[in-house]
Chain A
Amino acid sequence: TVGAVARDANGHVAAATSTGGVTGKRWGRIGDSPLIGAGTWADDACAVSATGAGEYFVRVGAGRTIAARVKMLGESIGTATDAVLGEIVALGGTGGLIVVAPSGETAWRFSTPGMYRATASAEGARVVAIY
């Protein structure tokens, strides 16, 4: 699974996710990536892309819930992502998420030993990481 979240110079955000699923997946099995609100979400609160054990991200409604916590509870995207990934882990799921807010704040969280991830900004910041 691959994903991207961006905030443009006009303060708008967007998210995208693409995947082959999981090796040996059952015929007809769909995970969270194409489900708007689960593995992919963007509104005026934040943009989210997820990866991992998709069924758990679906059951939690991961992307939509992070945005709702930001909007309704006033949480930062980091705090909201911690809470939602915590729900996923409590159910037995694993995985990770990348998030960006219209403010330009970014966050990534993952419960697995690693997540391929990278970020860049107009200020010249650039990070590529795995573990």
Chain B
Amino acid sequence: MSDRTWTLTVHGGSGRFERGIIPAEADAGARAGLGRALDAGSAVLAAGGTAVDAVQAAIEVLEDDPHFNAGRGAALSGEGRIELDAAIMDGRAREAGSVAQVTTPRHPIALARAVMDEGTHVMLAGPGAEAFAAARGVEAADAGWFELPERRRQLEELLARGNDAFDVDMKYG
């Protein structure tokens, strides 16, 4: 690879599809979202930015895109709540940041990055992570931003069928 080259790869979840195919709108929407994530991360890299800034930029696009199970459009827990997890790691010095069971940051990856940049800890969870987010001024969103009617329907369907909660992303992706 030449000195000035870069590369970016993203994923939006894996799994099986109901009846083996994705509905056309979901297919087109997901592909468009992946393309926007590539555009956001590639813009950082093409301008000489760092890999860690690029992956954060790409993920924030996908967290805002309702076609994916993260941020807006996230799956609902058995209690009907949205609890988000995220992690980021920089290979240069193995710096890492991680948050679990957070409910307020619009971009959980931005909170994980704030944990990494603050440098004391690697992982914060639950109310402590929320308090850290507030203290660092990480942008918050209310539950209505994250929850989609389709996700509520999927949860109700799953519970009505008595299925266990263990499900690969895309079955209800």
Q: Using CB atoms and an 8 Å cutoff, list the residues of chain A in contact with chain B.
A: 1-31, 33-36, 39-47, 49, 51-53, 55, 94-96, 98-100, 102-104, 106, 108, 110, 112-123, 126, 128, 130
Evaluate contact between A25 and B34: CB separation under 8 angstroms: no
**Chain B contact residues: helix, strand, loop or mixed:** mixed
A53 to B16 Cα, complex, angstroms: 12
Shortest CB distance A34–B (Å): 4
Chain B 3-21 near chain A by CB (<8 Å), digits 1 or 0: 1111111111111110010
Kindly list chain A residues whose C-beta atoms are within 8 Å of the C-beta of B138.
Answer: none
Evaluate contact between B91 and A42: CB separation under 8 angstroms: yes
A82 to B15 Cα, complex, angstroms: 17
Evaluate contact between B45 and A39: CB separation under 8 angstroms: no
Shortest CB distance A40–B (Å): 4
Chain B contributes a number of interface residues (CB within 8 A of A) equal to 93
A2 to B16 Cα, complex, angstroms: 16
**A12-B90, A113-B15, A118-B38 given; 9 more Cβ-contact pairs under 8 Å:** A2-B63, A21-B74, A23-B171, A27-B79, A30-B85, A31-B85, A42-B90, A44-B92, A123-B5
Kindly list chain A residues whose C-beta atoms are within 8 Å of the C-beta of B12.
Answer: 1-2, 115-117
Evaluate contact between B169 and A14: CB separation under 8 angstroms: no
Considering only CB atoms, which chain B residue lies closest to A45 in the complex?
A: B91
Given B7, B48, B89, which contacts A121 in the complex, CB threshold below 8 Å?
B7
Q: Using CB atoms and an 8 Å cutoff, list the residues of chain B in contact with chain A.
A: 1, 3-17, 20, 22, 27, 30-31, 34-35, 37-38, 41-42, 45-46, 48-52, 54-56, 58-59, 62-63, 68-71, 73-79, 82-92, 94, 96, 98-101, 107-109, 112, 122-123, 125, 146, 151, 154-155, 158-159, 163-173
Kindly list chain A residues whose C-beta atoms are within 8 Å of the C-beta of B101.
Answer: 28, 30
A sample of 25 cross-chain residue pairs with beta-carbon separation below 8 angstroms, ordered by A number, consists of A1-B13, A1-B14, A3-B10, A6-B41, A6-B58, A8-B45, A9-B45, A14-B91, A18-B84, A21-B83, A22-B169, A24-B78, A34-B98, A40-B88, A41-B89, A44-B92, A52-B169, A104-B1, A112-B16, A116-B11, A118-B37, A121-B6, A122-B46, A126-B38, A130-B22
